[in-house]
Amino acid sequence: MQKSVSRASQRRLRVSELHELFVEEQGNPQGVPIVFLHGGPGAGTSPAQLLTFDPAKFRIISFDQRGAGRSTPHAELKENTTSALISDLERIRDALGIERWFVAGGSWGSCLALAYGEAHPDRCLGFRLHGIFLADAADIEWWFNGSRMIFPDRWEIFSSFIPEDERHDLLSAYYRRLTSEDPDRCIEAAIALRTFSATTQTFRPDEGHVRKLVEPAAALAVSRIFTHYCVNGAFLEPGQLLKNIDRIRHLPCEIVQARYDTVTPMASAWALHRAWPEARFTIVTEANHQSTHGPMAEVLREAADRLFLTFIEATA
Hey, what amino acid is at 29?
P
In a 3-state reduction of DSSP, which class is residue 294? coil
In a 3-state reduction of DSSP, which class is residue 299? helix
Distance CA 36, CA 244 (A): 22
Catalytic pick among 62, 136, 289, 291:
289
Catalytic pick among 62, 71, 107, 197:
107
In the residue annotation, 6 being an active-site residue is answered as: no
Catalytic pick among 64, 88, 136, 261:
261
Specify whether the CB–CB gap between 284 and 299 falls below 8 A.
Answer: yes
In a 3-state reduction of DSSP, which class is residue 283? strand
Q: Exposed (0-12), middle (13-18) or buried (19+): which is 209, by Cβ within 10 Å?
A: middle
HSE-CB at 18 with a 13 A cutoff on CA atoms is 11
Residue 279 DSSP class:
S
Distance CA 132, CA 258 (A): 10
In the residue annotation, 153 being an active-site residue is answered as: no
Terminal CA-to-CA distance of the chain, rounded, Å? 12
In the residue annotation, 38 being an active-site residue is answered as: no
Residues taking part in catalysis: 107, 261, 289
